[in-house]
A and B are shown apart, each in its own frame.
Chain A
């Protein structure tokens, strides 16, 4: 058998190269699918007292607060972990949804540093018209002994009629550079609201 000047393994190596590349691409695609599947998992929260259920991202930590129905935080968050909150407030049937948001804004302005409302607009949630207020404040950390730079937090309160006498307010809080990317979480949070 005579060998040519070109290595005889050329063709076989080429096919193997393509197979390796295909294997890696398929594997990474499966990995991406796995990632999406895990990140989209949710946990249900049910409150019989208010008759509300909502789904929030699985793995997020719940914390207790007597002023809130629900607060969950992203455990992988940075200086300020992305937070979703849920409140139920009484509101007369004839009152505008902005009134509920005004009351909440007043509370925030008293407790948050450099609180500033940005804009108020109307959005559609589950076929209903809801009112959304976007705001910002500065977060300096909960522990005064930990050295950290303050961060700007952007938030959005969305008020939605629950029934004739009550309004539910869903809130997203996130660091300013992550706020836009986290909007999807608020949308999913709102779309999962159900009455029991």
Chain B
């Protein structure tokens, strides 16, 4: 039986480089351990760009004080909802000129994430579980419900988009592809959630709305990046059977915890001066979560790549 590359399935010689007992062609062996520094830089730049975008919109709203209503307000909200995705595409294609990635696959996963949000996630969470009726009963219920219902539903769907659409394909040929495609699924998911938010509200307050839109985008991309990391490792290393379920569980738990903390931080006590809701702490939390998540994933990827190149810590395939 001939030896083939475990990624592209092209025949390779008997002295082909191996990882975890699996043979690679020279091209894919070189790719497995690439750091893709420009990709991570683009990711951090995008986080910064989104924060800057929120500050810009908030400043404009304060200066101009627009009195939009009806259709113009709705259109403004929809435009804001699309900005995180457009920014991500711009950054992705910018760094992609240096290190090509199949654009159609990334866009396809983005659209699939959005489709799953509209077709499955929103009906399951809002229509079937009706979380709006009971999730706020008490803090423990909010936390558990956010993890078990919202977190698990959202993270499983984004994981499934990557796992079943692109994971088996030769184009998924680097560990970091898990994070790339996971992030794409998360942003598609977030875009639909944001559009749904704007449409169901009939238009939103621009300042509070843009904060919520960016918070959703940062959070969804971060958590699906985590499950994408687990997928990337699973494809190219010998991981235990609990590895992928553990990744989904971790992403779901963090998703639920974030939902709970955001609610706690943004809800203020009522007073004669107003109050009740302040979205800015939610944005700070999302920025911290996104930065910390991508920093950790970057570190873990670099560490895995160094170990790969050293040929160490890779168990033999049984």
Interface residues of A (CB under 8 A from B): 1-5, 7-9, 12-13, 15-17, 19-20, 22-24, 27-28, 30-32, 34-35, 38-39, 41, 58-59, 76
Contact = CB atoms under 8 A, between A and B. Distances in A.
A123 B3 CA distance: 78
B104 interface: no
Contacts of A3: 3-4, 6, 22-23
Instruction: Tell me whether chain A's interface is mostly helix, strand or loop, or mixed.
Output: helix
A58 B163 CA distance: 42
Interface of B: 1-4, 6, 9, 18, 21-23, 129-134, 137, 141, 144-145, 147-149, 152-153, 156, 159, 163, 168, 234-235, 238, 241-245, 248-249, 252, 317
Given A3-B23, A76-B133, A24 B1 contact: no
Nearest to B243: A16
Nearest to A38: B134
Nearest to A76: B133
A12 B1 CA distance: 22
B145 A31 contact: yes
14 contacts: A2-B3, A9-B235, A16-B242, A17-B163, A19-B242, A19-B244, A23-B245, A24-B153, A27-B148, A27-B152, A34-B144, A38-B137, A59-B137, A76-B133
A61 B149 CA distance: 26
A13 to B, nearest CB: 7
Given A5-B4, A24-B156, A59-B137, A34 B148 contact: yes
A8 B163 contact: no
B235 A15 contact: no
A135 B129 CA distance: 31
